[in-house]
Amino acid sequence: MPTPRTVFVPAYAKINLTLNVLGKRPDGYHALASVMQTVSLADTLLIRTGESETVSCDVDVPELRSEQNLALRAAHLLRETAGRPLGADIELRKVVPIQAGLGGGSSDAATALTALSALWDLHLPPGRLEELGAQLGSDVPFLVQGGTALVEGRGEVVTPLPDMRPLWLIVAKPAVNVSTAEIFRALAPADFGHDEDTRAVVSAIRRGADLPVEWLSNTLERVAIERYPEIAAVRSTLEHAGASPVRMSGSGPTLYAPFAHLGQAAEVYGRVAGALPQVWLCHTVTRTQVAASRPERQEFSSR
Ligand code: C5P
């Protein structure tokens, strides 16, 4: 049995700075062009290895305690890939809301994959964790490394982009839960096609220019807002408080507003904090910061 190790690892949420849906694929998924960004809103995984030969996951949210839990499925998948009776006990502390468009479950899975591959000394070839992640969900490959990236295909084609200047963000979740499949199903052919927004944002990030906030966009906003008027109500509260632009993340319902300066973000946050059901002030997290939070860069504590 290997030496027991215990680590705490944050599982950062993501937002979509852009999300263009290009069309429907023969496999039923949609072809995307999206700029994704990890943010400081995060769940925490406490992982213990070296004490058992099975995997388990205890979650502080009862409805996530099942075999379908993505962190647990990630641990099982990695153990099968290794082909050895490796063990891990995971405690998952949820902060990121579920069914929110923030990739919370996907990030738990991506974090379990990266943390366990280091703790179990698997030395997998580059790209293997992303491949395994794609079997668990479309956002998982991006969240293996996080930071800022262009994400294409159904989510599995990830091109890392240079770090942006830090952005402050107000993130607000309207009081509805949204099924991603339902939102994608409701798209009309007229929603498909162009990716100028994504190209413009990618080109500005590559040039090291300020984020062109006028290009932030999300094809899924139209159908999500049509179905859930709560989203428009939260957007309007944020806009009246001085946030601009306000965009939806993923399939929603969560909205975010970017700010270059903490002072501006804090002022708007102060105006909306009491008026919205769930709202956070957070910031962007770079790929380097994500990497620094992972076990291979932490001192292992042994008992
Ligand atoms: O991959 P994931 O399980 O996160 O996707 C949830 C649902 O969202 C899929 O079942 C599919 O209906 C839809 N989806 C899609 N195209 C994508 C990603 C997700 O149609 N690129």
- Average pLDDT taken over every residue of the chain: 95
What's the confidence (pLDDT) of residue 221?
97
> pLDDT for 165-175, tens place per residue?
999 999 999 99
Q: Which atom of ligand 1 is nearest to the CA of 139?
A: 4
Per-residue confidence (pLDDT) for residue 3, from 0 to 100:
81
Query: What distance in angstroms lies between residue 223's CA and the mean position of ligand 1's atoms?
Result: 15
Question: Across residues 116-136, what is the average pLDDT?
Answer: 96
Residue 297, pLDDT score: 66
pLDDT tens digit sequence for 5-14: 999 999 999 9
Closest atom of ligand 1 relative to the 138 alpha carbon = 1
Calpha distance 245→218 (Å, rounded) = 12
Query: What does the pLDDT look like over 67-114, one tens digit per residue?
Result: 999 999 999 999 999 999 999 999 999 999 999 999 999 999 999 999
Q: Is the CB of 29 under 6 A from ligand 1?
A: yes
**pLDDT bucket at 214, cuts 50 / 70 / 90:** very high
Mean pLDDT computed over 38-65: 95
Task: Using CA atoms of 47, 49, 53, 58 in order, give the dihedral in degrees to the nearest 10.
Answer: -20
Q: Is the pLDDT of residue 303 over 50?
A: no
Beta bridge partners of 55: 88
| Cα–Cα distance measured from residue 151 to residue 140, given in angstroms and rounded to the nearest whole number | 11
Q: Determine the distance separating the centroid of ligand 1 and the alpha carbon of 228, expressed in angstroms.
A: 19
Tell me if 65 CB under 6 Å of ligand 1.
Answer: no
pTM over 0.85: yes
Using alpha carbons, list the distances in angstroms from residue 124 to 89, 127, 130, 249. Answer: 21, 8, 11, 31
Assess whether pLDDT exceeds 80 at residue 148.
Answer: yes
Q: Give the mean model confidence (pLDDT) for residues 121-126.
A: 93
Instruction: Indicate if the alpha-carbon torsion angle 221, 263, 93, 78 is positive or negative.
Output: positive
Run of H or E including 112: helix 104-119
Helix (H, G, I), strand (E, B) or coil at 246: coil
Position 299 pLDDT exceeds 80? no
How confident is residue 296, by pLDDT bands cut at 50, 70 and 90? Answer: confident
Question: Residue whose CA is closest, atom 20 of ligand 1?
Answer: 29
Q: Verify whether residue 27 is a known catalytic residue.
A: no
Per-residue pLDDT tens over the stretch 195-209:
999 999 999 999 999
**Cα 29 to averaged position of ligand 1 atoms, centre (Å):** 6
Predicted local distance difference test score (pLDDT) of residue 38: 98
d(CA 157, CA 161): 13
Q: Best of 21, 68, 135, 180 to mutate for ligand 1, by most ligand atoms within 8 A of CB?
A: 180
Instruction: Give the confidence band of 302 by pLDDT, cuts at 50, 70, 90.
Output: very low
Could you tell me the two tokens for 67?
Answer: 């075999």
- Please classify residue 86 by burial: count the beta carbons closer than 10 Å to its beta carbon, then call 0-12 exposed, 13-18 middle and 19+ buried: buried
Quick one: average pLDDT of 39-55?
A: 95
Q: Strand, coil or helix: what is 255? A: strand
